[in-house]
A and B are shown apart, each in its own frame.
Chain A
Amino acid sequence: MDCPQCQRLLTAYVDDEIEKGERDRVEAHLARCADCRHQHARVTETLRLAAAWFPEDKFGRQALALQQQLSRLEVLLLRCQPPAVMTEHDVMAYLAIGEAELCLVLSELPRIDIAGECRFLRSSIDAWLRDQEVPAQLASERAIVGGGGEVAGPLLPPCVGQTRSSIALL
């Protein structure tokens, strides 16, 4: 048996699809031919790699769908995030206040003047916000005093429910 004959039979040999006599001849040739042993290794490796082609299963499809959904959410999240440098409109949206309220606090807000345009750094606005934070108990007292007898419901945290009901009785 010569090399071309042997190499034509290698696939069937690996598949165990040749007759006993031919198998013996292939094995005898392989024992003395390094080139054909190398080809045999390549056929085996090709078939090993080919086994990687498996159908997408249900789990694979679900994982992919989830991955795509997460990517979309990330994009949305990035779009929703306020910019690092904000205009007055951005600040109003960020603080959930209207123009009138902005005018009231504008002088307190840290800002940058760029060629006559007013800009606000989000980080500075965050710091300013933290300074404005009032402890819950104090907030409820302020609401009661400032509300003229009317309870500003949303300002009261749930932990002061008892105060709310006692006020309601008044």
Chain B
Amino acid sequence: MVQVKSGDAHAFRVLSERYRPRLERFAWRLLGDTEDAQDAAQEILLRLWQKASLYRNQGSFDGFVYTLARHICIRQREKQYKTERLDEIPVTATGTTPQWGLAARVAAAVRRLPQQQRLVFILSEYEGLTYEQIAQVLGCPKGTVGSRKYLAVRALTHALLPEETEG
């Protein structure tokens, strides 16, 4: 990253190759569309190049990248659905393969989560970020990340596992 900050294009290319698949995957889970996700990843990388000088070697670099990613994805979503919030992503937007039963059910359940819980869940479960890194991305205390993750998992348990019968 130090090389990228100093304007080394080759270093940035290496960095892009490493991050692009992760960013596309993250954006795909938030936006629900492959092409939009590719566009978003491209924009995130462009912003990363432009904003490299802002990175202060404090906090995790993943945290820095996903903070940019989060802002761009939410803005892109808002652009597409000006009247909708990210909370209201249609649950049918699970890609073009509804026959992938379980994956579609999980996608629908995750997309029904409130925005902050969804972000925490995606960053934690699919992007492998620690609670500390997620707190950096969302700009909230680590304890809040834990609470949101707990609420997200509780909602997903209700959605994915059979209801328990009392007594």
The contact of A45 among B130, B150, B161, by CB within 8 Å, is B161
B59 at the binding interface (Cβ < 8 Å):
no
Bound form: Cα–Cα A52–B94 in Å: 13
- Which residue from B24, B131, B147 sits with its C-beta under 8 Å from A15? B131
Main secondary structure of the interface of B (DSSP, over half): helix
**From B25, B130, B149, B161, contact of A11 by CB (8 A):** B149
Asked if A56 and B110 make an inter-chain contact with CB atoms under 8 angstroms apart, the answer reads no
- Number of A-B residue pairs, CB cutoff 8 Å, is 69
Contact present for A52 and B28 (CB under 8 Å):
no
Contact with B along A18-62 (1 / 0, CB 8 A): 100000000000000000000000110111011111111000110
Chain B residues with Cβ below 8 Å from A97 are none
**Residues in A46-100 with C-beta less than 8 Å from chain B:** 46-47, 49-56, 60-61, 64
* Nearest opposing residue in chain B for A48, CB measure: B160
Residues of A within 8 A of B102 (CB): 49, 52
Which B residues from 102 to 146 make CB contacts under 8 A with A? 102-103, 106-107, 110, 121, 124-126, 130-131, 146
7 nearest A-B pairs in the assembled complex, by CB-CB distance: A53-B106, A52-B102, A46-B157, A11-B150, A11-B153, A12-B146, A17-B131
